[in-house]
Structure 1
């Protein structure tokens, strides 16, 4: 067993866990529909992957009723369809199969109809939520959760991509932290698109970002107040630039927080990531997410904040063992690079040293801010009834 921060342990060989309802092994050639979410009254979105074809040859098949498809959305990375808008039939019964017909083929589906999932949710709406997707990163959740609750996030949602590190059991009793099991590989587009719909009745603003990103409100102590001050009547999306901190060529993993350990970066502007993280008014977004940003309904627009106001601090490149497990072992379908035989969990590649080249600038501004914020009491969530 390999020891990780906060006392969590991960097995050196992590087993692949499949959804209980899947009675077949994963196969990249399988066209699969796996879940649904409500749209406006009378419509639902189905989510899947690997569906290649022409929309005019696709139909919805809900229960035993075949209807013409109203819309379909393509992945912004792969040339396949990931979301399908269907008319919701009043004849549907509990556990009826939800799927599509692609040409002459009925697409495999594990999605089933549950009327509770397709009704308007009359629950309190949070003002600001944080949505992320993770796999075997429970050792980062404590610090991420405690910090973001103190800077104004009312509810945090994790899409769990088949973690085997006890994530669900470790954080089961936190009412303001929600974990949604999301076992499908290469489906971050779909998870974030699902969250756009899922959070419409729960959150006014939803931020989409990685678990190792900490939003830093430089102009105040609150991300909520930054959004309230920057948002005008026609702004429905606010993007935060991401400042990447360096792993500093660490091979062994320190039993300490990442914000305390990684305090070096490259010189500006090289330290900024190419893509930002964005908070969006989900009710004003088109139901398709691009992982970093969402498309908005007209006439609403997006802005990117100046780093003087706020930005995100990104701790993507950490110690070698964590990097290896997440980028090599964790990504079972997509490799960042071909792994030579000389490289393993104990022996880094040459590229690992190159990642932190020129990362010699010491930057403790965010670390010092976090230390101050973490001494503050946990605020109550802001609810809209």
Structure 2
């Protein structure tokens, strides 16, 4: 008689769980193994059967992404960068595509199954890469390392990734983030290679790397290394075709290889290569353009554009640093009114100098002179005070005349003038407690005596190949010189210290890479710091009356004469930029 073996209940449960786990691991092994094994079509359909129909991925999409970090639910896994203030920027590769229905309703799914809403932030303009932003949840901030999130429309799903095989979040402090090709070379922008403004790594220590994988790439010589700008030669097209089997060059990443003391490293990259840039301008060059970097300036933009357009700026180029205040709607209104305004998404924090360098290359074929001033800055000449109407000739009168074929005239030293520098007059809150509804030129009329900064209008073809710029003025090529205007010739009214409700926003976002971060308790005597301001966005006592050493209503009077119309009972008049 055979004896019956009695298995304890607890052991039976344990064996059942173990068998179930083993079977689950068997089903999912192809997602995480990194091997070339692929799931059968029947298994594929079964796995993705619970996804919404409008987000079903194809087997080919699955096969492509199975070599990267994805969840078994087939959601998108874009490159992701950790920005300051715990912001995460997600950039989809050229091979990824969103569902046709919408880019709304997405979430970032993180390694501990925490989620945060993913806000669509537009296209990176030069390679049409889709971007989203989300906030790193507090529960993730305690973990190390940080892994790249999954972009999903189904936040109730669990993170199924294998931490050891998942890529870490890219760090903003060490990254190649943008590139722009010219006819003769490639301009690459990268963080963390040149740590100081006044000290750059020798080009001989660098190579440009064209390829997603450094082991399978084409390398070219770096000719310029300055600030965050690196210029290198185009790769040989035949070599690219052989290496990538004719793949579209817009899908090839470009980065920097750093060689130092027998150690070779490649900077992580989000920048893509495009071939030599051929520009044809049907309209011809504009004489004067304006380039600036903006962040949440929707309420100020109309006044700035209308004013400068009427005194001679033909075209405006805005590098949008991630605005979320309806800037695009204001730009649409200006376009409908006939103003030439172009917006380029530039989400990279503290890269004002790099953005201006990019603009100097990007706009060279469409603009002769470029004015670099911010949206709270207005170019003004006392000689315009008696004019009954603004005129496009006003701004041109500040440029060197008579113009040669290069657009500049010779100075007493014999060198042509290619850059006009203007002093900044810094205006204070002028007893305002909120944004003046008639505009900054009307509301702020009290300023400091001394100036600290200078802004410029530069001849783009005279900009040095290094693209070095500091505080809104550029290093010029040999054979050109700059000219500094007197206060009687021309100044910039800088409405810098506005009503506290407006000024405190600067604590979160200062765009220049080389100015002091007010939140850090370092370098307290820097000229970039506001006198009387601490290390937190707390309104100093008596803010509304600070920085009032000179009453200066000259631009207020002139703009009232030029742009005032109608009557409005609370204020007595309206300005042309008021809705």
Higher relative contact order (CA 8 A, sep 6+): 1
Q: Which runs of 5+ in 1 are unaligned?
A: 1-13, 75-81, 379-385
- Paired with 1:265 and 1:320, the residues of 2 have a C-alpha distance of 16
1:88 aligns with 2:254: no
Corresponding residue number in structure 1 for 2:58: none
- Measure, in 1, the Cα distance between the counterparts of 2:88 and 2:316: 24
* Of 308, 318, 322, the match for 1:162: 322
Check the 8 A contact 2:220/2:234 in 1, yes or no.
Answer: no
Whether the 8 Å CA contact 1:95–1:113 is kept in 2: the answer is yes
Q: Return the alpha-carbon distance in structure 2 between the equivalents of residues 302 and 232 of structure 1.
A: 11
Alignment of 1:300-315 (within 5 A): 300-315=480-495
How much does 1:73 deviate?
A: 0.9
Matched, 1:288 2:468: yes
What is aligned with 1:34? 177
Distance 1:338 1:71, change over 3 A: closer
Shift of 1:62: 2.1
Pair 1:223-2:413 in alignment? no
Query: How far off is 1:369 after superposition?
Result: 1.4
Distance 2:366 2:437 in 1: 36
Q: 1:193 aligns with which of 351, 357, 371?
A: 357
User: 479, 483, 497: which is aligned to 1:299?
Assistant: 479
Q: TM-score, normalised by structure 2?
A: 0.55
Alignment partners' CA distance in 2, 1:176 and 1:253: 26
How big is each residue's C-alpha offset from its partner over 1:20-73, in whole Å with a ceiling of 9 and x where there is no partner? 3476756344x211222234x331111121214553221111232112211211
Deviations along 1:162-221, one digit per CA (max 9) or x if unpaired, are 111121233136261111111011101100111111111011000111110001133345
Aligned pairs, how many?
A: 345
Aligned match of 1:3:
none
Among 51, 56, 59, the alignment partner of 2:207 is: 59
Pick the structure with greater CA Rg. Answer: 2
1:262 to 1:15, Cα distance in 2 relative to 1, 3 A: farther
3-state SS of 1:51 partner: coil
Do residues 20 (structure 1) and 91 (structure 2) align?
yes
Structure 1 pair 26/148, CA: closer, same or farther in 2 (3 Å)? farther
Sort the Cα spacing of 1:355 and 1:304 in 2 relative to 1 into closer, same or farther, 3 A. Answer: farther
Please state if 1:118 is matched with 2:274.
no
Contact 1:15 1:164 in 2 (8 A): no
In 2, Cα distance between equivalents of 1:304 and 1:242: 12
Counterpart among 282, 307, 310 of residue 147 in structure 1: 307
For normalisation by structure 1, the TM-score amounts to: 0.81
In structure 2, stretches of 5+ residues that fail to align are 1-84, 93-130, 132-147, 149-167, 195-200, 212-216, 241-248, 385-390, 403-407, 411-415, 522-533, 566-575
Aligned to 1:383: none
Matched, 1:99 2:259: no
Residues 196 and 289 in structure 1, CA contact (< 8 A), matched pair in contact too: no
2:539 aligns to what? 348
